[in-house]
Amino acid sequence: MISEKALNAILMSLLFCVPLWAWVSDEPFTITLATRAVIFALAAVGLNVALGLGGLVSLGHAVFFGIGGYAMGILAFHAQTYSPLMEWPFTISGTKLMPVIWLMAILFSGAAAFIIGLLSLRTTGVYFIMITLAFGQMFFFFAISWPAYGGEDGLSIYIRNSFPGMNTLDPIQFFGICFAILSLVLWLNVRLVKSPFGLALNAARQSSERVEAVGLDPFRLRLIALVISGMICGLAGALFADLNRFVSPTMFSWQMSGELIVFIVLGGLGRTFGPVAGATLFVVLEHALGGIGEYFLFFLGLLLLVVVLFARGGLYGIITGRADR
């Protein structure tokens, strides 16, 4: 049995070294796989703020992932077609600059999380799950029926967006950007868990009435948690769209939301690095078992069943030997 900290270090080194090795031995596809894992991990880390720390089981986090994706898609689409995003009252043109795209992805997904939170956080338990699911479906069908940006077919972006001083078309460099962002967000997340806000949110998950009795507002704590969570998912969505150079309504699908939950449960609920382990395992399995087609999902379901029934702490629980937090 090894400690949680050691496992975090091993996990992050693996995630960093495997693509490096793939780069040396010229296997770009492995780098792309690793980038996919990193981006999924980022999204799941985002959801984990709401789910793991705040206890908010949201089945609608694909909304933020999708908004991030479409923020990238729309901005890049207008840049590549040289058409302005809007002309009145002032002209806004598209952009291919990643930092600007990220900022927009974060702002819009944060705003969406705020509005969705205002409405959905009045409910708890299964009603909360249903409301978030409903929001997810609304965005999904909106994206499908919005012809300006590809509708059902989605939007293709011909060239990956740029980051000053780097060649993002080089898989290892794009991986580096994604890995750096994931590391930064994880570090901020560790700080968040230990911060006053983290303490209060964590307590609100365990006992709402206690938090109220000390004069704090659980609703407001959860709302802020949802906004932070949505922003991280939005950023991940923008990166995911850039990885594929393609955005489609499937980013908004409820399956996507479900997968994010699966990453967290596989990795270990309530661990900061758990989602990283879960997302990585998922991508590895997806690749290894992908050859058997649809059956992949059958085996994933089986694995999930085993984890939930026999290894409640997920991968982290199995390896560190502690069932939960």
Partner 1 sequence: MMRPVLQVEGLTRRFGALIANDDVTLDLRPREVHAVIGPNGAGKSTLIAQICGGLKSDAGSIRLLGQDITHETTKNRARLGLGRTFQISSLASEDTVLQNAMLGALGAKSRPWQFFLPVLGDKNLRDHAENALRRVDLIDFADKRTGELSHGQRRQLEVAVALTLEPKVFILDEPMAGLSAEGTQLLTDLLRDLRNQAPILLVEHDMDVVFKLADRITVLDYGRVIATGSVEDIRKNPIVQRAYLGENL
**According to the binding rule CB under 8 A, does residue 207 interact with partner 1?**
yes
How far apart are alpha carbons 108 and 104 in whole angstroms? Answer: 6
Neighbours of 261 (CB within 10 A): 22
The helix/strand/coil state of 94 is coil
Query: Over the range 150-187, which residues count as b (16 or more CB within 10 Å of their CB) and which as e?
Result: beeebbebeebbbbeeeebeebbebbbbbbebbeebbe
With contact defined as beta carbons under 8 Å apart, do 308 and 299 qualify?
Answer: no
> What's the closest the beta carbon of residue 217 comes to partner 1, in angstroms?
5
* Structure tokens given for 91: 């002209």
Residue 156 bridge partners (DSSP): 246
> What's the closest the beta carbon of residue 189 comes to partner 1, in angstroms?
10
Burial class (CB in 10 A: 0-12, 13-18, 19+), 259: buried
**According to the binding rule CB under 8 A, does residue 212 interact with partner 1?**
yes
> What's the closest the beta carbon of residue 199 comes to partner 1, in angstroms?
5
Nearer Cβ to partner 1, position 229 or 280?
A: 229
**Of 2, 153, 191, 288, which one interacts with partner 1 (CB under 8 A)?**
191
**According to the binding rule CB under 8 A, does residue 213 interact with partner 1?**
yes
Nearer Cβ to partner 1, position 147 or 215?
A: 215
> What's the closest the beta carbon of residue 324 comes to partner 1, in angstroms?
8
**Of 126, 209, 293, 309, which one interacts with partner 1 (CB under 8 A)?**
209
**According to the binding rule CB under 8 A, does residue 322 interact with partner 1?**
no
Site residues for partner 1 per CB under 8 A: 188, 191-192, 194-200, 202-203, 206-207, 209-217, 221, 224, 228, 325
